[in-house]
Chain A
């Protein structure tokens, strides 16, 4: 399984944000495949995006149909792959690259993820915690990037 360090390395965007728009880009020709355009208001930019910025990503509609979905107003922290040559992206390592942000702005570190996070010695600030602030999470990620 990828460690947090590896997930960070393979991420084009890491941020906590709020979903402000979802739009299905309809097929324009029969040979085309639809995508879903998702807009985020970035509340804590960590990598590849700045706090306060609006980020628009596109996801393959097949992935959306599989359940990799968002809803308006939802707050998440995402590790997203760098967009492909098709301009598509999705959470790194699927559900592992997607964290829930609660109404207090804290990131929910689910039990199995804690074990994964603890495997990386650089993640002192996250180890053993079930919820962390966005700022603490961002600090830990930046430390990984710098090392």
Chain B
């Protein structure tokens, strides 16, 4: 579904305005009480918040310094099939899926080995609720920022996840796990990745292992899950080859029927445009760092950026509260067909940089695990409801392209971990409507990014659910989406933004 909110067609009465005011007041109170901690986003996984991180880092994504990642691997073998050297090559190959992205200034280096063969004999319980592991795989091992454990017999996996978790039967979920295990106060990442050797016993297991490793490495690099072409999973509508070609590798979850993974996806471990754009946004190749990444292309100069804010609309049709947690999609419009591409697509979750719930006097400032609510996400109101779609590629040799913007709900079943409102986080929005046929949505482009070049025609309003923006490479277009709900059935309450149907708008209108 593409619309978030609808537009009231009839002139609102004074009473209706008062009712809306009351509703929004109640909603605001509700959100203040229940909105969750903003822990991550559809793009960067972590955004430095007010508490915990250094003051100067607030609102910045957590990344690896200069895009340079040194990793250390276990001294042991992963399996008889992947003995130590072969396992190292396997890991390097999985990293290269990310480091080969031409506009991403990121590089990995196998810097050495861990000090031991990590196995079930050196992961030890202390009896006081804690346990001990080798010191160089602990979060405190900042001199070995990424540790990769080859768990040859699954014993470490079973020790950490539970007895039997390392069995081959559970490779679907437990073959590669881990990710960032420490976040420094200067907004840098440290990571631990455990690879289950029971999932590398035969050559037929390796494609699945690599797929899961690439996804885990995406998290290590600081990426969050994303939602693009979800119909590849739901099969509604039945996916085409283009849907698969644009299906982000950082989708939240797979259907349990996808064993082996190749029966569900082609080239499952290859980052797609959404992945390339997301990583490049975190680690852009710039004039300053290009010399460190020979052969790579400048990011902003070779891609398009569209960014802006999604708002609720008040009873008078004016922008109101910024809307968080909406999946904003950009798709390249094929000039020969005039249709939005399914292969060249990227997404950003609105409000990904903003914090939500930051605690209150009743519930206190910390979450259930004792962590401050406001450690992630900026408290700068200017970033509330914002999205950023930098990195949109222009297929072929053309210097300009037209993109289509739509908004859609985060799927509550298949995209639970996409964006800042994870299922554990509490309440966000919900928009359920039995009748979406009269939805309209407004997009406005009132401003430009400071680095913007000429980006198509002049700003204006589009009264359809889709906005077409014409941009040239290196252009940056700022747009603001305004949305409004009109029907009582569009209940806003506890839950997440729900609506995963296909858009029911009228004909497309060109941006003008």
Chain A contact residues, CB within 8 Å of chain B: 1-2, 6, 10, 12, 21-37, 58, 60, 62-67, 69-72, 74, 80-90, 92-96, 110-113, 115-116
Contacts and interface: CB of A to CB of B under 8 A. Distances in A.
B178 A62 contact: yes
A22 B369 contact: yes
Chain A at the B interface: mostly helix, strand, loop or mixed? Answer: mixed
A71 B130 contact: no
Contact of B165 (A21, A27, A90, A112): A90
Interface string B154-165: 000011111111
A31 B138 contact: yes
A80 B162 contact: yes
Contacts, number: 152
Contact of B163 (A71, A72, A84, A115): A84
A83 B259 CA distance: 27
13 contacts: A1-B172, A12-B162, A21-B368, A28-B128, A31-B132, A32-B130, A35-B131, A62-B181, A69-B424, A71-B424, A81-B165, A86-B124, A86-B131
Given A22-B369, A23-B369, A88-B159, A28 B130 contact: yes
Contacts of B131: 32-33, 35, 86-88
A37 B369 CA distance: 8
Contacts of A22: 367-369
Interface of B: 123-126, 128-133, 135, 138-140, 158-165, 167, 169-170, 172-174, 177-181, 192, 219, 253, 255-257, 259, 367-371, 413, 417, 422, 424-426
A121 B15 CA distance: 59
Contacts of B160: 60, 62-63, 84, 86, 88
Contacts of A110: 413
A83 B129 CA distance: 13
A69 B422 contact: yes
Contact of B179 (A12, A35, A65): A65
A71 B256 contact: no
Contacts of A10: 164, 167, 169
A66 B39 CA distance: 11
Q: Most chain-A CB neighbours within 10 Å: which of B128, B162, B255?
A: B162
